A and B are shown apart, each in its own frame.
Chain A
Amino acid sequence: MNIHNNMNLDTSSSKRKRMARCIPALAAAALAAGCASVPNPNPTDPLESYNRGMYAFNDKVDQVVFKPIAQGYETVTPKPVRTCIHNMFNNLADAWSSINSFLQGRAHDGINSMGRVLFNSTMGLGGCIDVASMNGSKRIVNDFGVTLGVWGFGPGPYIVFPFWGSTTLRDGTASLAGLAADASMYTPIFAIDNVPLRNSIIVLSLIDMRASLLSADKLVNDIALDKYSFIRDAYLQRRQALVEGSHATSRQSLPDYSSDDLPDYSDNGDAPTAPAKPAK
């Protein structure tokens, strides 16, 4: 028992050291990638100049490395195997979601997610088959960033992390702190003593995550005018909806489009004045 605990400590402290070593490299990449000028600064995105640079960098890396790997994985792995792998990682995520639901005081959601984990881990053969969803239980997506949001922390500025992508100050801090403190959905994976096996599972989880985004990726390509803005706004809206939880479409939280229907007093003499239909 003691030995096991020590090993756990060792792995997590070496992990932290490794992360510390990465930080200067990441900062350099960020500096190199940032510094594009932004013609129309957006008040909700104060770091836009850096973010756009990092987004372009991530996109390039994705095109060259991650996306081809994910596509290759989709080609060589039979669909049932991929589904099984995806479900098993979802099962781990559900366990972490359940804990967060309880932390947020959403006991009903917490019990639901816990029920899913118990059901899928047993009847679903270790999470391989998502029997809970087949029986009409919807997954409740949750993490520690959402928990902080429910506790009253605002999202802070939107940040694009190197390799990682969209996050905010709150959500990024929650994720990094969770990894550093070994409290995340990956905790059971990090607890595996066999290092090659553990690392293979982590890599597999990343590939699975990227592969599951391939169709969303295609949709964004089809409909976004500016991919950076589209992804940012979608991310921020989605996170906000998760923090609001089941109240997401209650009256108060619906987007209020009327504010812009107030008279526009901008001093723009040459703008054509059109008899626009008044909005309600």
Chain B
Amino acid sequence: MHARILSSCLSALVLAGILGFDSAIAKLPAELKQQIAAIQAVGPEGAGNPAAAIAFKELSASRTDAILPLLRAIESSGPLARNWLRSAVEVIVERELRSQKTLPVDGLRVFLLDTRQAPEARRLAYDLLAKIDPASAKKLIPGFLNDPSTELRRDAVAQLVTKGKSLTEDDKAAAIATYRKALDAARDVDQVKVIATELSETLGQEVDLPRHFGFLVHWQVIGPFDNSGRDGFAAVFPPEKKVDLDAAHAGKGEEQVKWQPLVSTNEYGKIDLNKPLGKLKEVTGYAYSEFVAEQAGPAELRLGCKNAWKIWLNGELMFGRDEYHRGQRIDQYKMSVHLKEGKNVILVKLCQNEMKEKWTVEWEFQLRVCDATGTAILSTGRPATPRAEAATK
């Protein structure tokens, strides 16, 4: 009951925030608008820094009524300007709290619950509220379970994980349900791993991690092509010119190479070229996959890889990196892309170098498609995740 009342109050506050949003922007003093604009104008290689510094000095001398406009401006700001605005808020808050002044608590709460605002800024608003009234702020956490802010969501997931642990001993069914709820909401890899381990190892449940993350596990691969002297990264081999899955090409040493299927059964979607092509050195391979988008729109390709790589979406080079064996993790590289409706084709180039140490054996990558919060976007008609047992047959 209490939670329902709290929820109703929060809904009212959000509504008030939404209704008041546009008028609040319109009412901004011209001076404040100019200062924010000066900060939002910062650009590459230090452009705009001097003007931003002047604006910052003026802004940070503002009273607490500037806090909310500054937080709101974060949504429409670039990555550098966001930090300028954040820093101005911090200076104001620090000074005002030292002077025993109060922060605009109601406004911060409305801002926090307005999911149109920048996720990082909303987390900052939460931290400010928690600084003033930790108990009240904590009560908001369960409401963040499916929040666009992964930082806010993280706290709600953590609460469920704690609850799941407490239930495991006495009420297995409730523990499973709690962990499932936590898993559905979890986006941070460390939390997902903890939950998946509890579900599978402690509670004997099946967990489809490739599907949860949206890893692409069905590929066609071809290789090896040459990478002697690490020249393969810049070289243009036939798959870069045209992907023809029926074609054969001259590979390294004039060996004829053909496309072949590779299906990953790794729970974190690792596509290991060593398996079909052998543990080779100074070689280049390609992997091709198709992704059917239900609708056109923004997405992220997130890659983990410790070899040199390039990636193309629908024939357009997204990014490439010639670093070898310095480490790999899920979501190591995040690339904002635009998916077209229907079939999208993804080509990955993967170069293995000459190093002989045992920690340089890997020739693999893991790629997923998701939205900006890390929520998986699944290909239409995505096949069932292959099971390890089936793959060994």
Partners in one complex: no
